[in-house]
A and B are shown apart, each in its own frame.
Chain A
Amino acid sequence: DGGITQSPKYLFRKEGQNVTLSCEQNLNHDAMYWYRQDPGQGLRLIYYSQIVNDFQKGDIAEGYSVSREKKESFPLTVTSAQKNPTAFYLCASSMPGLGYEQYFGPGTRLTVT
């Protein structure tokens, strides 16, 4: 089955620790995205990548980092510099170009205490 996997579903970390969220897709999509979702807010774009070895900052990139070494994988690292990291994180992918919608993974709930 083609799709996007995010692991783990729930993640707990202590304040001051970096943590990496996994996102893998087997849809052969070129573009991948990371969104953050907070209660009462819509999804906000953290980073996106339209091609391997290239990525751009989204609206709320501070305190986050990404890499795109393989087409299938787009891991997100939440660093200790992120002031309020507790949130629900969604990964998405799409074919670049006109009209292609984004497909979303099941998400990871990160709790930092």
Chain B
Amino acid sequence: AQTVTQSQPEMSVQEAETVTLSCTYDTSESDYYLFWYKQPPSRQMILVIRQEAYKQQNATENRFSVNFQKAAKSFSLKISDSQLGDAAMYFCAYRLYFGNEKLTFGTGTRLTIIP
């Protein structure tokens, strides 16, 4: 079974600084997707970024980028120029490339932005 681990329950960063959230996963599959979702205080889950395992290039979306290390099964999220609106719970998630689209989530990291 696939598992996703987020070892940092809480993180904080000064506004405008950079922060990196960690995620590791365990799978015997070679084809899969990895996601970072954001859950602000409203509790609405919002997709931040997606990475296909077959792509060596790290995904980037504006101030958000990932460091995908397939051999190490590591998938960290870097947030640059942190803004107050980035304060949220961040969840790492995994799903198989083929087959059903079940998402397996980590336990989340609560990110606080310090003004």
Contact = CB atoms under 8 A, between A and B. Distances in A.
Interface of A: 31, 33, 40-45, 48, 50, 56, 58, 88, 90, 92, 94, 96, 98-104, 106-107
Q: For chain B, what secondary structure do more than half of its interface residues adopt (helix, strand, loop), or is it mixed?
A: loop
A42 B33 CA distance: 17
A103 B9 CA distance: 24
Given A41-B107, A101-B35, A106 B100 contact: no
Contacts of B52: 99
A44 to B, nearest CB: 8
Chain B, interface residues (CB within 8 Å), range: 20 to 34
Given A48-B100, A56-B100, A101-B50, A42 B44 contact: no
Q: What 8 A-B pairs have minimum CB-CB distances, sorted nearest first?
A: A42-B105, A104-B45, A43-B105, A42-B107, A101-B47, A107-B43, A42-B106, A106-B44
B44 A107 contact: yes
Interface of B: 4, 6, 9, 33, 35, 42-47, 50, 52, 91, 93, 97-98, 100-103, 105-108
Contacts of A92: 45
A102 B4 CA distance: 17
A18 to B, nearest CB: 24
A103 B91 CA distance: 14
B101 A94 contact: yes
Contacts of A94: 101
19 contacts: A33-B103, A42-B4, A43-B45, A43-B103, A43-B105, A44-B105, A45-B103, A48-B102, A90-B45, A92-B45, A98-B97, A99-B33, A100-B101, A101-B35, A102-B103, A103-B47, A104-B46, A106-B43, A107-B44
Contact of B91 (A43, A58, A100): A43
A88 B43 contact: yes
Contacts of B98: 98
A8 to B, nearest CB: 14
Nearest to A40: B107
Contacts of B9: 40
Nearest to B44: A106
